[in-house]
Amino acid sequence: MDNMLARRIRERAYEIWSAAGRPEGHAEQHWLIAERELRATLMTDPPRPPTGGRKPRSRATPTTAKPEARARAH
């Protein structure tokens, strides 16, 4: 199991534990519930490849740019 998935499971298990009133002795049960939820989510919504942390640049052209931008482009 990769570190990212384990972290997400841990966070979700904590949420489940907290919502249940923070009972003692149910950590494994909460972990398994969280793991099942997250794995089901991954099966229906596979992760996307990383984009390198950058947003794609706008590719506005004079025909798609706002009228003011078109006036300045000419």
Please check whether residue 37 is in contact with residue 62, taking contact to mean a CB–CB distance below 8 angstroms. no
pTM: predicted TM-score of the whole model, two decimal places: 0.57
Place of tokens 């482009």: 73
Q: Residue 15: its pLDDT value, please? A: 96
List the domain range (segments joined by +) for residue 31. 1-48
**Residues near 24 by beta carbon (within 8 Å), at least 6 away in sequence:** none
46-57 core/surface letters (b: 16 or more CB in 10 A; e: else)? eeeeeeeeeeee
In this structure, what DSSP letter does residue 55 have?
P
Question: What's the domain count of the chain?
Answer: 1
Domain-embedded: residue 60: no
Domain-embedded: residue 3: yes
pLDDT tens digits for 29-73?
Answer: 999 999 999 989 888 876 666 666 666 666 655 555 555 655 565
